[in-house]
């Protein structure tokens, strides 16, 4: 079909429940996530926000050890965009987990998604005739025969190629009759 479907904005699912803690004492972590359930289409708005959160847990001091405070790592670089108008992701981790009763990190975004900075150049598309395909062989070796060639409609950014834009009815018919004046032996 010709034309562009209407824009559809990105949608994310709700958050999952928190996972089980990785430690019972000394500091651990647990995560929850959500996902993109509808990517943006036809210039719709991209999702923006965290898709994986992590928080500390099990931070009670293990017997006989010194407290260690949590330290968050920096955000990694954005992953490459997969297409114009698409989504991209980046990650960060806990550089040092709280241990033995040390200060925990608040719940934080560990993975996030954002819009790709490259925009799409959405232009209006028109229905246009393709180029004619080659003529088929003649159906007769002598006398009246018939040859055919075809073309089809395809999307185009140019209105000049629209059906009827050349000013007259299609100069060439899809079917063309030809008379063969020679008989083949």
Q: How far apart are CA 52 and CA 47, in angstroms?
A: 14
Main-chain dihedrals φ then ψ at residue 68, nearest 5 degrees: -130, 130
The answer for residues whose C-beta is within 8 angstroms of residue 53's C-beta and 6 or more apart is 15, 31, 32, 33, 107, 108, 109, 110
> Are the beta carbons of 64 and 52 closer than 8 angstroms?
no
* Span 100-137, pLDDT tens digits: 778 888 777 788 888 887 666 655 566 777 788 888 88
Q: pLDDT tens digits, residue range 33-52?
A: 999 999 888 888 888 888 99
The helix (H) or strand (E) run that includes residue 125 is: none
């Amino acid at each position: 079909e010709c034309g562009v479907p209407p824009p559809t904005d990105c949608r994310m699912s709700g958050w999952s429940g928190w996972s089980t803690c990785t430690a019972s004492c000394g500091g651990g972590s647990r995560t929850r996530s959500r996902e993109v359930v509808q990517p943006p289409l036809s210039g719709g708005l991209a999702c923006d926000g965290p898709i994986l959160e992590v928080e500390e847990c099990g931070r009670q001091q293990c017997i006989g050890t010194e407290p260690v405070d949590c330290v968050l790592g920096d955000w990694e670089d954005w992953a490459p965009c997969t297409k114009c108008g698409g989504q991209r992701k980046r990650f960060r981790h806990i550089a040092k987990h709280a241990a033995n009763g040390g200060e925990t990190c608040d719940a934080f975004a560990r993975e996030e998604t954002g819009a790709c900075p490259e925009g799409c150049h959405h232009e209006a598309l028109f229905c246009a005739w393709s180029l004619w395909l080659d003529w088929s062989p003649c159906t007769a070796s002598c006398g009246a025969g018939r040859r055919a060639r075809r073309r089809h409609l395809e999307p185009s950014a140019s209105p000049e190629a629209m059906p009827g834009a050349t000013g007259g009815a299609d100069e060439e018919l899809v079917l063309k009759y030809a008379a063969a004046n020679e008989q083949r032996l």
